[in-house]
């Protein structure tokens, strides 16, 4: 009798598992949830991102070779919210927020300061080609100063919305494979904002003296390449090129960045970030003489960090 009961219970369990896997039953369950007012799951939206925190510290006491006590930290937030219902349209949104500080002795210096927001609406012309409308915003959180440790407004060289850049345009996106994306806009509006009046009066970042906004119309090209070398090593590269039609079109603004990620484990990663910028409207005073004009120069940034990374939401998508 006991053996019969066990066989009967095992058969019922197997039948229950088969029923649970039946797609018809699953559909009926979803319909029941809808009738009871349970909110439907919108699988068209993919939302998520990651948070990275890196720290380094050095301390010295009676150290014959010398050294300066220091403490450094960097934070990076990478967010995305993408909509794709499988139809003719999709909408991709991303945000990169970064800030870093270095403290040496009694002096604070920024090591990173970025706000980068982008939104792109795509209409599929073919499997690899889209008609796209793009909106991009770049600025920074905190003021920057000419020399380490300075905090007076008279030596402030940048701030939030000083500069701020807004790019908007209509163009084509070509995506031949999962790794490479090219966006070309023959007509793009680039708006430069300088909200610090002292910098605006000096004509900083290309605005006319006394004005806080400058509008340029030109061509824009964005290139993006992502590569997963191994499970623990991946690379992201992007480059933005802008040419002002009203001025010399050969003067091309460049904004590029190369990121390489090394995963130690699920939460610990090492990152290498290399950035190159060139903007003909950003001038540098090389001889510290206010009477001589500044000249444009190439700008470089390199950051090597090891720290904590936490992923949340949907998996980070490949660049579209």
- Kindly state whether residues 276 and 219 are assigned to the same domain: yes
- Kindly state whether residues 201 and 76 are assigned to the same domain: yes
- Kindly state whether residues 225 and 92 are assigned to the same domain: yes
CATH number, position 272: 2.40.230
pLDDT tens for each residue of 172-182: 999 999 899 99
Residues 6 or more apart from 13 whose CB is under 8 A from it? none
- Kindly state whether residues 20 and 85 are assigned to the same domain: no
How far is the C-alpha of 50 from the C-alpha of 80, rounded, in Å?
Answer: 9
From 12-26, 69-83, 192-206, the region with the lowest mean pLDDT? 12-26
Count: domains in the chain: 2
320 within a domain of the structure (yes/no): no
For residues 79-92, give the mean pLDDT: 94
More confident residue, 19 or 289: 289
pLDDT tens for each residue of 31-56: 655 655 555 555 799 999 999 998 88
For residues 3-7, give the mean pLDDT: 43
How far is the C-alpha of 173 from the C-alpha of 92, rounded, in Å?
Answer: 12
- Kindly state whether residues 34 and 101 are assigned to the same domain: no
* Cα distances (angstroms) measured from residue 287 to each of 218, 293, 294: 32, 10, 9
For residues 193-215, give the mean pLDDT: 94
Residue 97: Cβ-neighbour burial (10 angstroms; 0-12, 13-18, 19+): middle
Percent of the chain whose pLDDT exceeds 90: 60
**Structural domain containing residue 11:** 1-39
- Kindly state whether residues 20 and 68 are assigned to the same domain: no
For residues 213-238, give the mean pLDDT: 95
* pLDDT for 201: 94
- Kindly state whether residues 152 and 22 are assigned to the same domain: no
- Kindly state whether residues 30 and 64 are assigned to the same domain: no
For residues 10-34, give the mean pLDDT: 53
Does 23 have pLDDT greater than 90? no
319 within a domain of the structure (yes/no): no
More confident residue, 32 or 124: 124
59 within a domain of the structure (yes/no): yes
- Kindly state whether residues 123 and 28 are assigned to the same domain: no
């Amino acid at each position: 009798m006991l053996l019969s009961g066990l066989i009967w219970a095992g058969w019922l369990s197997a039948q229950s598992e088969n029923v649970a896997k039946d797609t018809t039953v699953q559909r009926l369950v979803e319909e029941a949830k809808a009738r009871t007012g349970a909110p439907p799951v919108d699988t068209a939206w993919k939302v998520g991102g990651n948070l990275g925190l890196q720290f380094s510290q050095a301390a010295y006491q009676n150290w014959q070779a010398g050294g300066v006590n220091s403490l450094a930290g960097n934070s990076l937030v990478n967010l995305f919210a993408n909509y794709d219902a499988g139809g003719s349209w999709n909408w991709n949104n991303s945000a990169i927020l970064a800030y870093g500080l270095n403290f040496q002795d009694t002096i604070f210096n920024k090591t990173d300061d970025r706000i980068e927001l982008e939104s792109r609406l795509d209409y599929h012309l073919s499997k690899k080609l889209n008609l796209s409308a793009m909106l991009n915003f770049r600025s920074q959180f905190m003021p920057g100063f000419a020399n380490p440790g300075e905090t007076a407004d008279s030596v402030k060289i940048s701030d939030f919305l000083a500069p701020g850049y807004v790019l908007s345009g209509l163009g084509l996106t070509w995506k031949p494979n999962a790794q490479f994306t090219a966006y070309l806009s023959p007509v793009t509006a680039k708006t430069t904002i300088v909200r610090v009046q002292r910098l605006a009066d000096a004509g900083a970042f290309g605005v006319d003296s006394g004005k806080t906004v400058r509008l340029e119309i030109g061509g824009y090209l964005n290139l993006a390449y992502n590569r997963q070398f191994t499970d623990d090593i991946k690379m992201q590269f992007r480059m933005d090129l802008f040419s002002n039609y009203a001025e010399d079109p050969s003067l091309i603004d460049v904004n590029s960045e190369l990121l390489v990620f090394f995963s130690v484990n699920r939460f610990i990663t090492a990152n290498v970030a290399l950035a190159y910028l060139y903007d003909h409207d950003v001038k540098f005073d090389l001889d510290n003489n206010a009477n001589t004009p500044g000249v444009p120069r190439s700008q470089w940034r390199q950051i090597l960090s090891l720290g904590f990374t936490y992923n949340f939401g949907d998996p980070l998508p490949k660049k579209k």
